[in-house]
Amino acid sequence: MNDRIEQDWTAVCELDDIVPDTGVCALVKGTQVAVFHLAGDESSVYAIDNYDPHSQAAVLSRGIVGSLGERVVVASPIYKQHFDLRTGECLETPELSVSAYRVKVAGGKVWIAA
């Protein structure tokens, strides 16, 4: 069972390495993933693709984190489209949504399932 967990989850950084309300980029199995830590508890960690399909650049980890209504989002730093951090959905152009990844914090480390 432990082998299965290690194969499915990749440790990307220490939780303390991410300044609250910002993101970092991590390489997970060859894919750039934007990892965000919202101020609060360690359950407020999210991960989506880092690649912005609107600008065709890997920049989402540098976007501005906030909320629109009940949705926790990141605004792309280039054209400002909003991506839901829970689902990866682009609020303005749903057909250009990105993937969202499962995240957990264990032993002070952030783990991404991919």
CATH number at residue 10: 2.102.10.10
Query: What is the SS3 assignment for 14?
Result: strand
Determine the structural domain holding residue 12 and report its residue range: 2-113
Instruction: Give the predicted TM-score (pTM) of the model.
Output: 0.91
3-20 average pLDDT score = 83
Q: How confident is the model at residue 6, as a pLDDT?
A: 52
Question: Is pLDDT of 4 > 70?
Answer: no
What DSSP string runs through 18-72?
SPTTEEEEEEETTEEEEEEE-SSSTT-EEEEESEETTTTEE-GGGSEEEEETTEE
Question: Is pLDDT of 79 > 60?
Answer: yes
CB 16 within 8 A of CB 114: no
- Tally the domains of the chain: 1
Question: Is pLDDT of 64 > 80?
Answer: yes
User: Rounded distance, CA 60 to CA 35, Å?
Assistant: 9
75-100 average pLDDT score = 97
Q: How confident is the model at residue 114, as a pLDDT?
A: 85
